[in-house]
Amino acid sequence: MEQPRKQNIAELETTLVVLHRREMRLRSVLSSPVVSPEKRNDAREALEAILDETRVVEDAVTQLEAER
C-alpha cells in the first residue's frame, strides 16, 4: 500500500512542477510592457486558476504525506 501512495505523491509533485512553470510564464506575460490589456487580463485570469489548482494539489500532497 505504501508504493501506490509514494507514486501518487510523485505524480502530484510533477504536476506542481508543471503548474509552477505555467505560473512563471504567465507572470512574465503580466510583467511585459508590450502585452495588450486584453492579453494581460486573460493571463491574470489564467494565473488565478493555476494558483487555485496549485493550492489543491499542494493540499493533496500534504494530506498524503501526513498519512504516512
pLDDT tens, per residue, the chain with 68 residues: 578 888 999 999 999 999 999 999 999 999 999 999 999 999 999 999 999 999 999 999 999 989 87
pTM attached to this predicted model: 0.87
pLDDT of residue 43: 97
Phi/psi region, residue 35 (left: phi>0; alpha: psi -120 to 50; beta: rest), is beta
Q: Which residue, among 28, 42, 64, has the nearest Cα to 16 in the 3D structure?
A: 64
Residue 8 makes CB contacts below 8 A (sequence gap 6+) with 64
